[in-house]
């Protein structure tokens, strides 16, 4: 049996660690959500990945998914631009802005045999709203043969 003094020190040390963690990660203690009237979002896309030691590429189909997560308000997707690994604009998917009603979604597909973007391709998605809303969920889903699949989440960037 441990002496009471050692047990008390262990409990005190654990309590101090919990307090330090909560102070360092205030977002976990405060679940307040930030609303937005628009963003520019960077989304990684992989047209292929390397799955063998010989650097043989495995081709992937990439799906860009844009989901309006607001329960009441529409958002407007202003642009969906596709860039290659070198940062060169390859394709602009929207000719005119697209309204996504509350809880609606849309998608854009980069086909399996579309190698133009390369393994470091990306989308830049711009959206806006008249009111402050929950930001859309913007992510890419990559799907390969033999059941290989994974996702990449978009990240807000500054222009």
Q: Is 118 in contact with 84 (CB distance < 8 Å)?
A: yes
Mean pLDDT by 10 residues, the chain (159 residues): 53 59 52 85 91 80 96 98 96 97 97 87 97 97 87 94
- pLDDT value of position 113: 84
Interatomic CA distance for residues 73 and 96, integer angstroms = 20
This prediction's pTM: 0.77
Contact indicator for 122, 23 with CB cutoff of 8 Å? no
Q: What residues does each domain of the chain span?
A: 1-32, 36-157
Output the pLDDT for position 2.
Answer: 52
Q: Which fold has domain 36-157?
A: Hypothetical Protein Tm1070; Chain: A (2.60.290)
d(C-alpha 84, C-alpha 109), whole Å: 15
Query: What pLDDT is recorded for position 33?
Result: 76
Q: State how far the Cα of 41 lies from the Cα of 82, in Å rounded to an integer.
A: 12
């Amino acid at each position: 049996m441990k002496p009471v003094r050692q047990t008390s020190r262990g409990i005190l040390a654990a309590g101090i660690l919990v307090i330090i963690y909560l102070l360092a990660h205030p977002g976990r203690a405060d679940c307040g959500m930030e609303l937005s009237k628009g963003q520019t979002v960077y989304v990684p896309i992989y047209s292929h990945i390397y799955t063998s030691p010989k650097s043989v590429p495995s081709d992937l189909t990439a799906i860009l998914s844009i989901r309006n997560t607001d329960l009441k308000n529409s958002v407007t997707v202003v642009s969906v631009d596709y860039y290659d690994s070198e940062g060169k604009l390859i394709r602009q998917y929207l000719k005119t802005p697209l309204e996504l009603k509350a809880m609606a979604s849309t998608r854009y597909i980069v086909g399996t045999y579309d190698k133009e973007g390369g393994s470091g391709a990306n989308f830049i998605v711009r959206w806006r709203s008249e009111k402050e809303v929950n930001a859309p969920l913007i992510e890419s889903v990559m799907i390969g043969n033999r059941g290989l699949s994974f996702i990449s989440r978009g990240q807000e960037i500054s222009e």
